[in-house]
A = this chain, B = another copy of it.
Amino acid sequence: MTEKRTPPDGFVPACPVPIPDYPRVTLAHGGGGRLMHDLIERMFVELLDNELLGQRHDGAVVPPVPGSGRIAITTDSYVVSPLFFPGGDIGSMAVYGTVNDLSMCAAHPSALTLGLILEEGLEMELLWRIVQSIAAACRRAGVVIATGDTKVVEHGSCDGIYINTAGIGTVPDGLDPPSPRRVRPGDSIVLSGDLGRHGIAVMAARQGIRFDSPVRSDLAPLNGMVSALIERGIELHCLRDLTRGGLGSALNEIATAGITLTVDEALIPISEPVRGACEILGFDPLYVANEGRFIAIVPESAAEDCVRTIGSFEDGREARVVGRAIEGRPLVTMKSMIGPERVLDMLSGEQLPRIC
């Protein structure tokens, strides 16, 4: 695990090790006894405490939110390698990734669960940094860790740390949740920003590749932007974040509901460093994972308002319409910059393992 110890951006270099005599995680830290209790109290509660976690139970009871009867629920496990990369780390990813999945249901994220699988021998200081990052990400996204679970497996049985977060959020009453089935011919496809930064940043960190202009992950919480779209009253037919499989896979998944989606390659923003890295590494940026980008499919009449609303956020300043839905069979096509329209298929395998 030695090569993964690059501290994430913005962290104070020295951080206290809260468990005296235990510089590394031992199997006993997952055993249900005093050591596990100490780890929970001195690290997790210390950094993450809130009213729900303070219930100190195996579960937490969340009070109802007036005007929100429906609950959205989601989960993701995070196995990203390396644990720290330019623009983020496994901790902030575990928070924003799940917040973003809730946002894509047009739900206001309220509480997350935190399931940690730790490898025996993991440096306690590294864990402290990751939990600090989780805490900072929760503050930024306006969510809390309601409850958690810690397991420790023998050295060699996991790669440092795997994190699962599940999340719940509330769907405002009267709001029709976005869904591929709601996409109609004529709808506009709004993309929130440039593509490919997360996958390339992680891959470069893993392989030790250095670019002239370093690529930072686009990792960011999307709930602020989605809330703004809901507040503006924009009819959100479909929302999808562009994680594993990128824009290409997301469009294909939506099209399977029974519609043709078409995008214009010239309109899709991809930064020069990402484009260059993709050429060198042999990746298609349309399929590379993002962690802070999404598409909103909205009625054409609402597209301009949607672009302006997303564009008012720092993470959405490159938002634009990149395509539309048309009558037709389930299919994604792209008007390419150098040739005729081509089919944008779903990839059969994957380009980049363990980018999330």
- Chain A positions within 8 Å of B, measured between CB atoms, are 26-28, 30-37, 55-64, 69-79, 101-102, 104-105, 107, 111, 113-117, 146-149, 151-154, 156-159, 162, 164, 166-169, 171, 177, 179-180, 241, 243-246, 249, 253, 287, 289, 346-354, 356
Contacts and interface: CB of A to CB of B under 8 A. Distances in A.
Q: How many copies of the polypeptide does the oligomer hold? A: 2
Contacts of A76: 58, 115, 149
Contact of A164 (B30, B77, B107, B243): B77
Contacts of A34: 346-349
| Minimum-distance CB pairs A-B, first 7 | A31-B350, A32-B244, A32-B245, A166-B166, A59-B74, A28-B349, A75-B113
A206 to B, nearest CB: 12
A246 B30 CA distance: 14
Contacts of A148: 75
A179 B114 CA distance: 21
A58 B70 contact: no
A200 to B, nearest CB: 16
B59 A73 contact: yes
25 contacts: A27-B353, A30-B244, A32-B249, A33-B249, A34-B348, A35-B348, A35-B349, A37-B346, A57-B105, A59-B74, A59-B102, A59-B107, A61-B107, A63-B69, A71-B71, A73-B146, A75-B149, A76-B149, A77-B115, A77-B149, A79-B117, A117-B162, A151-B162, A151-B356, A154-B354
B75 A71 contact: no
A300 B77 CA distance: 44
A346 B33 contact: yes
Nearest to A354: B153
A116 B115 CA distance: 12
Contacts of A151: 77-79, 162, 354, 356
A331 to B, nearest CB: 15
Contacts of A159: 153, 157-158
Contacts of A70: 61-64
A350 B30 contact: yes
Contacts of A179: 55, 57
A60 B74 contact: yes
A199 to B, nearest CB: 11
A104 B57 CA distance: 9
Nearest to A246: B32
A159 to B, nearest CB: 5
A40 to B, nearest CB: 11
Among A74, A154, A241, residue most surrounded by chain B Cβ atoms (within 10 Å): A74
A315 B104 CA distance: 42
Given A61-B107, A61-B171, A113-B73, A33 B349 contact: yes
A32 B350 contact: yes
A166 B102 CA distance: 15
Contact of A348 (B28, B245, B289, B352): B28
Nearest to A69: B64
Given A34-B347, A79-B157, 5 more contacts: A37-B346, A76-B115, A77-B149, A162-B162, A168-B168
A356 B30 CA distance: 10
A1 to B, nearest CB: 12
